[in-house]
């Protein structure tokens, strides 16, 4: 794109410039950015510029700058060699498109200005609305398309991206996330080179295990956290997606994002409109962290369910007892988390099943009846025990799934996703199956699972919603034979309908998106979920890497991070409790452990940490992130901090990631403080026998950001408590 630095930038607003009767330029502005579009009547809509905010004079300068312009929504058929956003087969078999602007509309809102370009094919009555929503309070612009068929018959959509962005070549680097189960959100950074880069998902149910639908482009060479021009993009969709970056023989990288069209051709009926998911863009000249701050503000304010509501500190039962659920054990865990200052207890898998008892992962999904052998007082008894301990109660469900060994499957075998004429392929436990969310009967069933739970137990405060299987059988008993390619799309349409119904009735209910761990970290889910489980891997050292990458796009308030047992249940690594606490406190703090196996000293350390987290919770969950030293730099240390919007408080995290004799670690300077203010430093979760030399001392923001503090490499503790890990959490507060 024409992203070049301009000076004399002033406040701009939605502005229409007419250089002549046929050329019309639209400046879509946020507080700090501009997207300029040319939309001449009966001409082609073109992207002119995306970058730092432009003044009216600078808009005029663009026309003589010599930069290229590109179609705002490239289509297939008259330029077949290029990548396209939209490709169709008309009712008569013609596969070409030529789109021209027939109308431009602007809608003003307190939070945003929406601009809609209406395009029509020059021959066929096929219409495309390209929508742009520019936010007034945060530097985010959303785009999506609406494709309407007014032809005589069905139009087949073969490609239907949400949006497109050309990015000028010149040492551009891509930051993206990859991984797998128990290793989600890993950071990959690479220079864009000639050819095609594709990031995709084909799971069908979950879409952020192996890759993410969010990327960042660093325009000034190798990515930097707090410097450099950066474009961020996030496709807000819960289903299969495809991101394409085509570096062809032109001067540009061509970025497309949208629903993955593979095996998903869509038959658009006469008078039907197909709406693509939102593709959100941001631009920052403060590097990756600057782009992240934009994503986080936008996410909390406009995308995340209850994004401005503090999250509670909880204990989840899973790693503590797994399927071994019983009344006495649950009450013991409720009492323990309450005694440590926690605010919520969540009972995980294993609480349900009548004919088939849920003791392992191979049965009972779909049979959402309390197992009275395990819980003779039912959920009501646990809510009563929670209230007695002055905490709230939550529960685990997996409503989109069933098992072949279940009463639900015996009653409704036609509700599962299965290839016609073939035996069903099963997943987890050798018996798990996915329900067909495209079927309205299944949608009603899934909604009623939540509604029944909440109607019978209205004091349930939290639901952990899991999804432990992807679509591995292509086939729907509900869809017609000629629309089987709609399977993936209809699944997520149905899923979203259910979520909307639940949120309309239970807007304050906290719901976690868990999907075999971090399989649903995407802004397509988050309007219906308050948070997501980052990973089933609770190992603190590996969590630093996973949470680092995840923080590129998602705020701490949405990232569930729990203190777990040692040796860790996934990596079997032995990590001291202090380190596990310090990592968990950088997200939404919780516990994933059996408290009765902890010593009194460990419980006391957790009690102290929970108390101190309550002090810093507003900063962590609503503050601005500044990533300072990446664990991916392999310098032996990782560090980040959160700063309050008023810059009067901050929390600084420092984790040593490796240990060697005669080790030399870099000094970490802070970011985001007010250079003129003075700040007092206090260590949280202290275990040392004596305080740090700077404990209780005051420093100017300028000093902390230019010089920093010398962090000891080890903890000064009794000899028998020494280990190879070290971590620090510092509370920085303005002295007035």
Specify the pLDDT at position 23: 59
Q: Which two tokens stand for residue 583?
A: 């990592």
- 110 has a pLDDT exceeding 80: yes
Specify the pLDDT at position 60: 80
pLDDT level of residue 64 (50, 70, 90 thresholds):
confident
Per-residue DSSP letters for 661-679?
TT---PPPPP-SS-TTSEE
Domain 349-529 sits in which CATH superfamily?
Aldolase class I (3.20.20.70)
- 3 has a pLDDT exceeding 90: no
Tell me which residue of 689, 11, 553, 70 sits closest to 281, measured CA to CA.
553
Q: pLDDT digit string (tens) for 642-700?
A: 999 999 999 999 999 999 999 999 999 999 999 999 999 999 999 999 999 999 999 99
For 261, other C-beta atoms within 10 Å of its C-beta total 18
- 429 has a pLDDT exceeding 90: yes
pLDDT level of residue 706 (50, 70, 90 thresholds):
very high
pLDDT level of residue 16 (50, 70, 90 thresholds):
very low
Token look-up 């810059």 returns 647
Token look-up 């609503």 returns 622
- 285 has a pLDDT exceeding 60: yes
- 17 has a pLDDT exceeding 60: no
How confident is the model over 410-418, as a mean pLDDT? 98
CA distances from 19 to 6, 40, 530 (A): 21, 11, 47
pLDDT level of residue 18 (50, 70, 90 thresholds):
very low
Q: pLDDT digit string (tens) for 594-636?
A: 999 999 999 999 999 999 999 999 999 999 999 999 999 999 9
What's the rounded Cα separation, in Å, for the pair 624 and 616? 13
Q: Phi, psi (5° rounding) for residue 213?
A: -90, 25
Q: pLDDT digit string (tens) for 232-278?
A: 999 999 999 999 999 999 999 999 999 999 999 999 999 999 999 99
Q: Which two tokens stand for residue 675?
A: 């250079």
Domain 77-303 sits in which CATH superfamily?
alpha-galactosidase from lactobacil brevis (2.70.98.60)
What's the rounded Cα separation, in Å, for the pair 198 and 245? 6
Q: pLDDT digit string (tens) for 136-194?
A: 999 999 999 999 999 999 999 999 999 999 999 999 999 999 999 999 999 999 999 99
What's the rounded Cα separation, in Å, for the pair 13 and 684? 45
Q: Are 590 and 572 in contact (CB under 8 A)?
A: no
Q: Is 334 helix (H, G, I), strand (E, B) or coil?
A: helix
- 112 has a pLDDT exceeding 80: yes
What's the rounded Cα separation, in Å, for the pair 322 and 702? 49
Specify the pLDDT at position 9: 29
* pTM for this predicted structure: 0.96
pLDDT above 70 as % of the chain: 97
Specify the pLDDT at position 62: 80
- 14 has a pLDDT exceeding 90: no
What's the rounded Cα separation, in Å, for the pair 523 and 282? 14
Q: Which two tokens stand for residue 716?
A: 């000064």
Token look-up 């992240």 returns 292
Specify the pLDDT at position 552: 98
Token look-up 């069908």 returns 204
Cβ partners under 8 Å of residue 441, min gap 6: 415
CA distances from 458 to 394, 453, 472, 569, 625 (A): 11, 8, 36, 34, 36
What DSSP character marks residue 231?
E
Q: pLDDT digit string (tens) for 286-332?
A: 999 999 999 999 999 999 999 999 999 999 999 999 999 999 999 99
Residue range 626-734, CATH number: 2.60.40.1180
Specify the pLDDT at position 467: 98
Per-residue DSSP letters for 319-388?
HHHTT---HHHHHHHHHHHHHTT--EEEE-S-SB-SSS--SSTTS-TT---B-TTT-TTHHHHHHHHHHH
Q: Which two tokens stand for residue 360?
A: 């392992």
How confident is the model over 393-411, as a mean pLDDT? 98
Q: Are 60 and 8 in contact (CB under 8 A)?
A: no
Specify the pLDDT at position 97: 98
Q: Which helix (H) or strand (E) holds 621?
A: helix 600-622
Q: pLDDT digit string (tens) for 578-589?
A: 999 999 999 999
Q: How far apart are the first and last CA of the chain?
A: 46
How confident is the model over 482-498, as a mean pLDDT? 98
Q: pLDDT digit string (tens) for 523-553?
A: 999 999 999 999 999 999 999 999 999 999 9
Specify the pLDDT at position 19: 34
- 206 has a pLDDT exceeding 90: yes
Q: Are 445 and 485 in contact (CB under 8 A)?
A: no
Q: Where are the domains of the chain?
A: 77-303, 349-529, 626-734
- 2 has a pLDDT exceeding 50: no
Question: Please, what is the average pLDDT of the chain?
Answer: 95
Cα torsion 424, 430, 432, 438: sign: negative
- 4 has a pLDDT exceeding 60: no
pLDDT above 90 as % of the chain: 94
What's the rounded Cα separation, in Å, for the pair 490 and 486? 6
């Amino acid at each position: 794109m024409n992203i070049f630095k301009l000076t004399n930038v002033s406040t701009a607003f939605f502005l229409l410039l007419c250089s002549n009767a046929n050329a019309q330029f639209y400046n879509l502005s946020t507080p700090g950015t501009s997207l300029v579009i040319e939309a001449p009547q009966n001409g082609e809509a073109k992207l002119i510029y995306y970058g730092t905010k432009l003044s009216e004079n600078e808009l005029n300068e663009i026309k003589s700058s010599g930069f290229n312009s590109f179609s705002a929504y490239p289509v297939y058929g008259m330029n077949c060699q290029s990548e396209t956003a939209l490709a169709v087969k008309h009712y008569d078999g013609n596969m070409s498109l030529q789109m021209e602007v027939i109308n431009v509309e602007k809608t003003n809102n307190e939070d945003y200005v929406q601009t809609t370009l209406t395009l029509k094919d020059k021959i066929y009555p096929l219409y495309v609305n390209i929508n742009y929503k520019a936010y007034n309070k945060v530097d985010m612009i959303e785009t999506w398309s609406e494709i309407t068929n007014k032809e005589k018959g069905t139009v087949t959509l073969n490609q239907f991206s949400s949006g497109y962005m050309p990015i000028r070549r010149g040492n551009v680097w891509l930051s993206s996330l990859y991984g797998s189960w128990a290793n989600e959100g890993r950071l990959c950074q690479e220079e864009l080179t000639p050819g095609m880069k594709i990031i995709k998902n084909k799971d069908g149910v979950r879409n952020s295990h192996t890759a993410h639908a969010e990327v960042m482009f660093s325009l000034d060479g190798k990515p930097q956290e707090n410097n450099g021009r950066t474009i961020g993009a996030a496709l807000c969709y819960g289903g299969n997606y495809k991101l394409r970056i085509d570096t062809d023989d032109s001067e540009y990288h061509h970025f497309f994002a949208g629903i993955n069209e593979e095996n998903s051709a869509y038959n658009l009926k006469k008078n039907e409109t197909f709406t693509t998911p939102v593709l959100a863009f941001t631009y920052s000249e403060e590097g990756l962290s600057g782009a992240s701050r934009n994503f986080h503000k936008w996410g909390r304010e406009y995308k995340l369910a209850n994004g401005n509501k503090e999250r509670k500190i909880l204990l989840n039962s899973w790693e503590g007892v797994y399927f071994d659920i019983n009344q006495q054990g649950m009450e013991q865990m409720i009492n323990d988390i309450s005694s440590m200052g926690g605010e919520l207890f969540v009972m995980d898998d294993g609480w349900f099943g009548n004919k088939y008892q849920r003791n392992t992962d191979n049965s009972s999904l779909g049979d959402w009846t309390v197992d009275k052998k395990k819980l003779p007082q039912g959920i009501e008894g646990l809510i009563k025990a929670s209230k007695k301990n002055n905490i709230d109660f939550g529960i685990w469900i997996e409503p989109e799934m069933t098992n072949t060994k279940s009463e639900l499957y015996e009653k409704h075998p036609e509700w599962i996703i299965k290839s016609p004429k073939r035996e069903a392929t099963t997943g987890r436990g050798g018996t798990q199956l996915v329900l067909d969310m495209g079927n309205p009967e299944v949608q009603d069933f899934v909604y009623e699972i939540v509604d029944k739970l909440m109607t019978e137990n209205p004091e349930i405060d939290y639901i952990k919603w899991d999804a432990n299987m992807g679509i591995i059988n292509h086939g729907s008993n509900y869809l017609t034979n000629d629309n089987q390619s709609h399977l993936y799309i209809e699944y997520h349409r149905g899923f979203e309908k259910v979520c909307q119904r639940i949120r309309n009735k239970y807007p304050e209910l906290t719901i976690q998106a868990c999907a075999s761990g971090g399989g649903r970290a995407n802004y397509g889910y988050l309007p219906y979920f308050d948070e997501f489980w980052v990973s089933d891997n609770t190992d603190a050292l590996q969590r630093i890497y996973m949470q680092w990458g995840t923080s590129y796009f998602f705020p701490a308030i949405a990232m569930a991070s729990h203190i777990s047992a040692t040796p860790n249940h996934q990596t079997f690594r032995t990590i001291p409790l202090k380190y596990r606490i310090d990592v968990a406190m950088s997200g939404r703090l919780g516990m994933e452990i059996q408290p009765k196996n902890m010593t009194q000293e460990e419980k006391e350390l957790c009690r102290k940490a929970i108390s101190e987290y309550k002090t810093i919770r507003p900063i962590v969950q609503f503050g601005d992130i500044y990533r300072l030293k990446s664990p991916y730099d392999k310098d032996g240390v990782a560090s980040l901090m959160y700063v309050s919007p008023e810059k009067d408080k901050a929390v600084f995290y420092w984790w040593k990631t490796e240990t060697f004799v005669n080790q030399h670690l870099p000094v970490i300077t802070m970011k985001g403080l007010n250079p003129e203010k003075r700040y007092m430093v206090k260590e949280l979760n202290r275990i040392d026998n004596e305080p740090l030399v700077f404990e209780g001392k005051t420093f100017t923001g300028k000093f902390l950001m230019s010089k920093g503090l010398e962090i000891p490499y080890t903890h000064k503790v009794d000899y028998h408590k020494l280990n190879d890990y070290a971590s620090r959490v510092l509370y920085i507060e303005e002295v007035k």
